[in-house]
Amino acid sequence: MLFILTRTQATFLPLLTLFVCLTRADLISDLKSHGFQVLAPADLGYASAIIPYNERFMFKPAAVTFPRNTQDVSTIVKISGRYNVTVTARSGGHSYIANGLDGKVVVDLASFKKFSVDPRTKIATLGPGIRLGDLILQLNAVGRAMPHGLCPYVALGGHAGHGGYGHTSRQWGLTLDVIESLEVVLADGKIVTASKSSHPDLFWALRGASSSFGIVTSMKVKTFPVPPTVTNMQYAWDMSTDEATSAVLDWQAFSLASTTPANIGAYLVLMRGSAKGRVALSFMGGYFGPNRNFDKIVQPLFKNYPSGGLRNATAMSYVDAAFLFGQMGTLNTTVIPEASNTLYAKSLMTPQETPMTREAVGSLIEYLGDVGFTADFIWAIEIEQYGGVTSQINKVPLDATAFGRRNALFTLQFLTAPSANVPPFPPEGFTFLDGMTNAILDNMPKDWDYGAYMNYPDDRLKDWQRRYYGSHYPRLQNLKAFYDPKDLFKFPLSIELPN
Ligand SMILES: Cc1cc2nc3c(=O)[nH]c(=O)nc-3n(C[C@H](O)[C@H](O)[C@H](O)COP(=O)(O)OP(=O)(O)OC[C@H]3O[C@@H](n4cnc5c(N)ncnc54)[C@H](O)[C@@H]3O)c2cc1C
Ligand SMILES: *[C@@H]1O[C@H](CO)[C@@H](O)[C@H](O)[C@H]1NC(C)=O
Ligand SMILES: *[C@@H]1O[C@H](CO)[C@@H](O)[C@H](O)[C@H]1NC(C)=O
Ligand SMILES: *[C@@H]1O[C@H](CO)[C@@H](O)[C@H](O)[C@H]1NC(C)=O
């Protein structure tokens, strides 16, 4: 960096630093003079306002702001720009890397919960602060539903900006696929609407990389009629490593098969087994079609699975199934507060054309049955079903949105936490989890074009530009230079300005 400084810049530098130091206090008083709530480090309430979902991170933002409306958001962004402090939106705060909140101005969108459904078009207008559980309940009350993740406490803001995957995604797409338009505050404080016909390039970028381009304050999305019935699937086994290897390969073959309809969505979960050399495997998801077809379609998957275990497929209403998918004992997020975690997560999206080999799966399962059994960590791997020839996720052309991967068969999510699940997160946690991904990667071709999922951000991933954003990265960089030339919306893994 120093080498390329021109003479003028070099002379200016000490002056600039002084300027920034002197004005921190003014930033706070400036922010505080507009009527919305602002919490700075000296304020009561600041300590609880900065607690992240993932307590592996403990950051100290310059201020946490609570805008009441889009105009307030614009004011906050303009002020932050003037003081040269980076800005980060927080909707549900579920970022695995706590948004890299250090030193930033946080724009908390918790009060952006506007909800309405147009009675004629059935297009919903939604605030980014709405949590998924509350969204399910509100849509269900008017007979509608949409694709999104399972956790009731995740909010729409971050979720819809980088993907949004759940059990209905294979039939309806990702959350970002149903967005019709977005209201967004840009780096210069301007409020614009992005859609196919208005700022189409921005509309493209906001569907996959929203956090790098602005603060979304409202979105219009397409909705679907609530499916009349859902078969909730809950299966569990304790398997030998050989059985578990076959089970994962059968899951892969089933997901690839043209006979597997799009109205199934599920994931296979691997966890610590009952003894060394064993792995616990569970299968959870929903079949969203008529119950009479269920056995014919789904049972073939399990034909070679070991007998015994728990096998429960029960037909129920959509909202009851969503309640069970959420695993939190509530969909209404105002009734029970959510607990934090101290976790590390990675993801790996496996291309449909080159699925995992038997060696790769076998090596992963061996690792889980051996190192995974003795490790002093809580851990799980979720093998989430994205693809297959019928999947709506992959029917969307790659270049239609900024989402980087439209060819994934699975997204594997690797999660680990120290056994007490409180900080500090020990360094061995990283190597333990790296061992899982390496077991796969070491058994796949060197040039295997796997991806990673931006809603499961991993700040230790080396070639993250390629893994998250794929071939879209250069275009995203050019748009970044246009829409956010001063890199105001900067965080680990945000789109970098072009060189
Ligand atoms: C318990 C748990 C379960 C999960 N389950 C699923 C799942 O089933 N499926 C799935 O796909 N994902 C799942 N996720 C991941 C989830 O989708 C992401 O963590 C998501 O980004 C969270 O959004 P948020 O608004 O709650 O988080 P935040 O931390 O508020 O935001 C996440 C990122 O988006 C940015 N952002 C937030 N709001 C806006 C906005 N309005 N405009 C622009 N940028 C914004 C933030 O700056 C940050 O970079 C899960 C995560 C957790 C912790
Ligand atoms: C803003 O801050 C960044 C990072 O701290 C610095 O590189 C840049 O020169 C600053 N710009 C101005 C105009 O102060
Ligand atoms: C959640 O529960 C609260 C308190 O009972 C209620 O006021 C609110 O309307 C409920 N929210 C939804 C989305 O049903
Ligand atoms: C199967 O699941 C349903 C729905 O969760 C539950 O009511 C029922 O008790 C379960 N049956 C068994 C045998 O576990």
pLDDT tens track of the chain, all 499 residues? Answer: 233 333 333 344 444 444 444 467 899 999 999 999 999 999 999 999 999 999 999 999 999 999 999 999 999 999 999 999 999 999 999 999 999 898 899 999 999 999 999 999 999 999 999 999 999 999 999 999 999 999 999 999 999 999 999 999 999 999 999 999 999 999 999 999 999 999 999 999 999 999 999 999 999 999 999 999 999 999 999 999 999 999 999 999 999 999 999 999 999 999 999 999 999 999 999 999 998 999 999 988 999 999 989 999 999 999 999 999 999 999 999 999 999 999 999 999 999 999 999 999 999 999 999 999 999 999 999 999 999 999 999 999 999 999 999 999 999 999 999 999 999 999 999 999 999 999 999 999 999 999 999 999 999 999 999 999 999 999 999 999 999 999 999 999 999 999 8
pLDDT of residue 22: 46
Sorted by sequence, the CB contacts under 8 Å of residue 52 that are 6+ apart come out as 58, 59, 93, 95, 98, 101, 340
Distance CA 97, CA 494 (A): 12
Pairing state between β 224-225 and 144-145: antiparallel
Closest residue to atom 6 of ligand 4, CA basis: 314
Could you give the 3-state DSSP secondary structure of residue 199? Answer: coil
CB-CB neighbours of 115 under 10 Å: 15
Laid out side by side, the sheet with 408-418 consists of 310-316, 230-240, 278-287, 264-272, 377-385, 408-418, 344-351
Closest listed ligand to the CA of 5: 2
Does residue 97 come out as left (phi exceeding 0), alpha (psi in the -120 to 50 range) or beta? alpha
Distance CA 354, CA 408 (A): 10
Across the strands, what pairs with 226?
A: none
Q: Is the CB of 324 under 6 A from ligand 4?
A: yes
CB 351, CB 407: distance < 8 Å: yes
Ligand 1 pocket list (CB less than 6 A)? 53, 88-95, 99, 109, 128, 149-151, 154-155, 157-159, 161-166, 210-211, 215-216, 455, 491
C-alpha 335 – ligand 3 centre gap (Å): 8
Closest residue to atom 3 of ligand 2, CA basis: 84
C-alpha 233 – ligand 4 centre gap (Å): 10
C-alpha 352 – ligand 4 centre gap (Å): 34
CB-CB neighbours of 62 under 10 Å: 22
Closest listed ligand to the CA of 215: 1
Distance CA 229, CA 195 (A): 33
Closest residue to atom 14 of ligand 4, CA basis: 312
Query: Which of 230, 314, 323, 324 gets mutated to test ligand 4 (max ligand atoms within 8 A of its CB)?
Result: 314
Q: Residue 49 is encoded by which pair of tokens? A: 């306002």
CA dist 352 → 11, 254, 432, 448 (Å):
54, 12, 27, 11
CB 174, CB 393: distance < 8 Å: yes
Ligand 2 pocket list (CB less than 6 A)? 16, 84
